[in-house]
């Protein structure tokens, strides 16, 4: 940490000029070149993985994949990974991180949020971003399944928000990670929605298309839902407003956003240690959201690279990830 409280200058992250643009970084985080690479490297993890349906309390069920280290090998810890909005346990950025951590000796649990990973029929009520209690219930179920300590939680984008809430609210309810890491965490949902609406059209089209596909899948599973209003707007802000009013218990968008907005001050006062990795050129998560955040208090590390896009941090044409190296270092240090 620099003396003026600014974040560290990226620890040498200098992507190849061919892939340094923010949109290219963001696309590489989710698309096929890295998936093909890690499918070859992930065979050991997949060979031992087991699918689970977790009882999260109040009748809610979430799914995930659990990979233990080979019998006779002492794991270095248990790492629970949480994908971003409209992602899943198979998302490239998450799968790649899981492979790296498994190879480094950690047990892995890749958690699917409600209505993600093809689970639209599993729960009657719809997913929304303030449904934290069921994620904490999933953490308890995972810890009952795998008692390995220490526990680490790593989340990406909206999953980073959920992960950081585990650090903030989990200790009071018996879930205390040794370290929680938010990668490109969406801590200010209102700012994120505005950034997507007013940023590159590619991102708005991508998220709206993914959301509509989710709504169609939900209706296929539960035909009495009526989502017709969502087919008539190209604004993510207006889509979110309709959703908050009609399909959440909050009744309006401001109350809905407030239920899962995090601030730098909240993170620094967290009862469990946290770390944040983000990029200043992220088109989805405004860098201004982190104003005032410092590596002090509960924040063990705050790395804000000049480049990296949204969940990108790809260093070269071999698809090496700078963020994965930093996560390994952070876990080893804790």
Q: 273 in a domain, yes or no?
A: yes
Domain carrying residue 133: 22-200+261-333
- In three-state form (DSSP H/G/I as H, E/B as E, the rest C), the secondary structure along 23-71 is HHHHHHHHCHHHHHHHHHHCHHHHHHCEEEEEECCCCCEEEEEEECCCC
What is the Cα 85 distance to its own chain's centre?
Answer: 8
DSSP state of 8: B
Question: Residue 75 belongs to a domain with what CATH number?
Answer: 3.40.50.1820
Note the Cα 77 to chain centre separation in Å. 19
Task: Give residue 30's pLDDT.
Answer: 82
Instruction: Classify residue 201 as exposed, middle or buried by CB count within 10 Å of its CB (0-12, 13-18, 19+).
Output: exposed
How many domains are contained in the chain? Answer: 1
Would residue 118 count as lying in a domain?
A: yes
**Which two tokens mark 197?**
């609406």
Cβ burial 43-54 (10 Å sphere, 16+ → b, else e): eebeeebeebeb
In a domain, 80, yes or no: yes
Name the H helices within the chain: 22-30, 32-41, 43-48, 92-103, 133-145, 158-169, 189-198, 201-221, 236-247, 253-258, 264-268, 322-333
Q: Is residue 61 part of a domain?
A: yes
155 with 181: CB under 8 angstroms? yes
In a domain, 218, yes or no: no
- Whether pTM > 0.85 for this model: the answer is yes
What pLDDT sits at residue 231?
80
With respect to residue 75, please indicate whether it lies within any of the assigned structural domains. yes
On whether residue 94 sits in a domain, the answer given is: yes
Full pLDDT tens readout for the chain, 334 residues: 443 344 544 457 888 888 888 889 888 888 756 555 655 666 789 999 999 999 999 999 999 999 999 999 999 999 999 999 999 999 999 999 999 999 999 999 999 999 999 999 999 999 999 999 999 999 999 999 999 999 999 999 999 999 999 999 999 999 999 999 999 999 999 999 999 999 877 788 888 999 999 999 999 999 999 998 888 788 999 999 999 999 999 999 999 999 999 999 999 999 999 999 999 999 999 999 999 999 999 999 999 999 999 999 999 888 889 999 999 999 999 8
Please tell me the distance from the alpha carbon of residue 26 to that of residue 176, in angstroms, as a whole number. 31
Please give the Cα distance from 141 to 262 (Å, whole number): 25
Q: CA-CA distance, 152 to 8, in Å (whole number)?
A: 22
Would you say residue 306 lies in a domain? yes
pLDDT at 38: 58
Q: How many CB atoms lie within 10 A of CB 2?
A: 10
Q: Which residue has the tokens 């994965």?
A: 324
């Amino acid at each position: 940490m620099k003396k003026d409280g600014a974040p560290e200058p990226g620890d040498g992250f200098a992507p190849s000029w061919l892939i340094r643009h923010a949109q290219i970084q963001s696309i590489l985080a989710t698309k096929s070149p890295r998936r093909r690479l890690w499918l070859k490297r992930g065979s050991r993890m997949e060979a031992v993985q087991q699918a689970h349906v977790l009882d999260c309390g109040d009748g809610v069920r979430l799914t995930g994949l659990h990979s233990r280290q080979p019998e006779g090998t002492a794991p270095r810890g248990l790492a629970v990974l949480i994908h971003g909005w409209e992602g899943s346990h198979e998302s490239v950025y998450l799968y790649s991180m899981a492979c790296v951590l498994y190879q480094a000796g950690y047990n892995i649990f890749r958690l699917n949020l409600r209505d993600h990973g093809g689970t639209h029929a599993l729960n009657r009520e719809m997913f929304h971003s303030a449904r934290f209690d069921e994620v904490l219930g999933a953490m308890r179920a995972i810890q009952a399944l795998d008692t390995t300590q220490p526990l680490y939680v790593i989340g990406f984008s909206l999953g980073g928000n959920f992960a950081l809430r585990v650090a903030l609210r989990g200790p009071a309810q018996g879930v205390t990670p040794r370290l929680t890491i938010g990668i490109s965490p969406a801590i200010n949902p209102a700012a994120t929605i505005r950034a997507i609406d007013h940023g590159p059209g590619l991102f708005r089209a991508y998220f709206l298309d993914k959301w509509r596909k989710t709504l169609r899948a939900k209706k296929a599973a539960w035909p009495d839902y009526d989502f017709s209003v969502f087919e008539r707007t190209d604004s993510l802000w207006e889509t979110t407003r309709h959703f908050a009013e009609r399909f959440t218990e909050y009744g309006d968008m401001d109350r809905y956003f407030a239920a899962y907005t995090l601030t730098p001050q909240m993170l620094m006062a967290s009862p469990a240690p946290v770390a944040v990795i983000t990029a200043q050129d992220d088109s989805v998560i405004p860098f201004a959201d982190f104003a005032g955040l410092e590596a002090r208090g509960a924040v063990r590390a705050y790395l804000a690279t000049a480049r990296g896009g949204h969940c990108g941090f790809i260093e070269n044409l071999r698809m090496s990830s700078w963020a994965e190296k930093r996560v390994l270092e952070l876990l080893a240090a804790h």
